[in-house]
Structure 1
């Protein structure tokens, strides 16, 4: 029983790590630009497919480094051509726009790479278990968690210690004041959207090595990522981090005792948080109330 619980907790942490990267990117875009990006899961799939396409030429490590940045550049183009047209409007406009664009990206992936699942080749040593006893924990899982930790720490360091990061944080609190101080809000929003897409692309490359590639792969991670934001608290990146890990581990532990409720428990957690603390675990007063 101990190994079963440990196995599911490990799975929960891995899934929670995907939720964290996805949710942090979503939260960055939502907090600064008030855009509900329903195409975020498709940027995740795009990152994975780009890694699949580039890996024969660059190898796995090169594809891991390059694919998220190409995803960010595509996100930058999407923001410049489409998303910026719905700024300062009701959020339902961005929701409908990105919802429709998600289907376009999904069909494009089917057309280019086909509707069937594809494997992303990994270096052989990453596929090996870390020990005979913990045979279900491979070095790739350890590697994924390590990459997520580095990415999250790098993001928080960037937001805290760089001029652009400080402007993004300030803009989430009062964008009009930031604009009045001479900051180019248009460029700031573009960069912020691209940064969110970069996190989605990185998550996609990591997910592809774990679960493989298919055009719908982002759909299963998108809604839990939104829930992670709600549970953690809209406006709080640290809350989003804890929210993603919480629902990932909770779903995994529920699988041990009541597998059919593993998905429902995520929504139950959200319901309880909204009833007890409407702004989320670490959200700011007034953001959700």
Structure 2
């Protein structure tokens, strides 16, 4: 029983990491850009497929670096051409735009790479279990956790200490004021959008190595990622990470003992949190109250 519980918690933690990375990017884009980005999951899938394509040439580690950057370039093009004209308008417009964009991009992925799932080949030494007792603890899963810690830590360091990070945080608080001070808010929003898409690209590659590739891999993770934001608290990046890990672990444990409720438990947790604390665990006061 203890081994099963530990196995379930660890599996849930791994999935929770994907939710957390996705929720971080979504929260960043929602905060400064004011865009509910339903295409975020498709950008995640795109990052995984780009890595799948270039891995034979640059290797796994090279694809882990190059693929998110290529995904960012595509994301910045979308931001400049489609999303930027909608800034300042009703958020419903950007929601509908990104919802339609997600369906178009998913169909493009099917057209280019096929509708059948693809295996993402990992280096052999990463697939080997690190322990005979804890067979589920593989080198790749440890690397996955370490990469997530490094990427998340780097993001918070950039937001806290770099000039552009400080401006992003200031823009979240009062965009009009920093615009009046001469900050180019279009560049700032583009940079913020690019950072969010970079996180989606990283999540896509890590998820591809764990879950395999399919055109719908992003759409299957996008709604739990929104739930993670709500549970953790809209406006809190730390809360987004916490929310992702909580619903991931809860889903993993439920899958082991009551598989039918694996997805339902995510929304039950959201409902309980909203009833007890409408702003979320670490959310800003007044957003939902």
Q: Distance in 2 between matches of 1:200 and 1:138?
A: 23
The list of structure 1 runs, each at least 4 consecutive aligned residues, that deviate by more than 4 angstroms after superposition, is none
When normalised by structure 1's length, the TM-score is: 0.99
How far apart in 2 are the matches of 1:249 and 1:144? 16
Residues in 1 aligned to 2:288 and 2:46: alpha-carbon distance in whole angstroms: 31
Structure 1 equivalent of residue 73 of structure 2: 73
The answer to whether residue 59 in structure 2 is matched with residue 47 in structure 1 is no
Q: Does 1:116 align with 2:113?
A: no
In the other structure, the counterpart of 1:225 is 225
Tell me the SS of whatever aligns to 2:288. coil
Q: What is the distance in 2 between the residues matched to 1:156 and 1:80?
A: 25
Shift of 1:220: 1.2
Which digits, 9 at most, give the CA deviation of each residue in 1:26-77, with x for residues without a partner?
0000000110000000000000000000011111111111000111111011
User: What does residue 277 of structure 1 align with?
Assistant: 277
Gaps of at least 5 residues in structure 2 are none
Aligned to 2:138: 138
Any idea what SS the aligned residue of 1:102 has? helix
What residue in structure 1 maps to residue 184 of structure 2?
Answer: 184
Deviation per CA, 1:115-147, whole angstroms, max 9, x where unpaired? Answer: 001011111100000111111111101110111
Aligned counterparts of 2:136 and 2:278: Cα–Cα separation in 1: 38
RMSD, matched Cα? 0.7
* Structure 1: stretches of 5+ with no match in the other structure: none
The aligned length equals 289
Q: Distance in 2 between matches of 1:207 and 1:151?
A: 15
Q: Name 2:34's counterpart in structure 1.
A: 34
> What does 1:157-172 align with in structure 2 at a 5 Å threshold?
157-172=157-172
Q: Deviations over 1:67-111 (max 9, x none)?
A: 001111110110000011111111111110000000110010001
Per-residue CA deviations over 1:174-215 (Å, capped at 9, x if unaligned) read: 111111111000000001111100000000000111111111
Shift of 1:288: 2.0
TM-score by length of 2: 0.99
Instruction: Give SS of 2:27's match.
Output: helix
Displacement of 1:257: 2.3
**Cα distance in structure 1, aligned partners of 2:62 and 2:140:** 16
CA distance in 1, matches of 2:144, 2:53: 20
Q: Matched residues in 2 for 1:6 and 1:33: separation?
A: 40
Q: 2:99 is matched with which residue?
A: 99
* C-alpha separation in 2, matches of 1:151 and 1:19: 14
Cα distance in 2 between the residues matched to 1:67 and 1:285:
37
Q: Which residue of 1 aligns with 2:256?
A: 256
Deviation of the 1:259 alpha carbon: 1.5
Shift of 1:260: 1.0
Provide the C-alpha distance between the structure 2 equivalents of 1:171 and 1:287, rounded to a whole number of angstroms: 17
Alignment partners' CA distance in 2, 1:287 and 1:29 = 16
Counterpart Cα distance in 2 of 1:257 and 1:110: 35
